Structure 1
Amino acid sequence: RLPSGAGHDAVYMAPTGPIGMIFIPCLNGRSHCPEEWIEPAQLLDGTRVLYQSVLELDRKLRA
Structure 2
Amino acid sequence: MSTSSVSEKETQSILASKLNKCYYQDEQLTKFMHLQAEVDCLLEQLQSMKTEKSITNKEE
Which protein is bigger by CA-based radius of gyration?
Answer: 2
TM-score between both structures, scaled by the size of structure 1: 0.40
Q: If each structure's helix is expressed as a fraction of its own residues, which one has the higher value?
A: 2
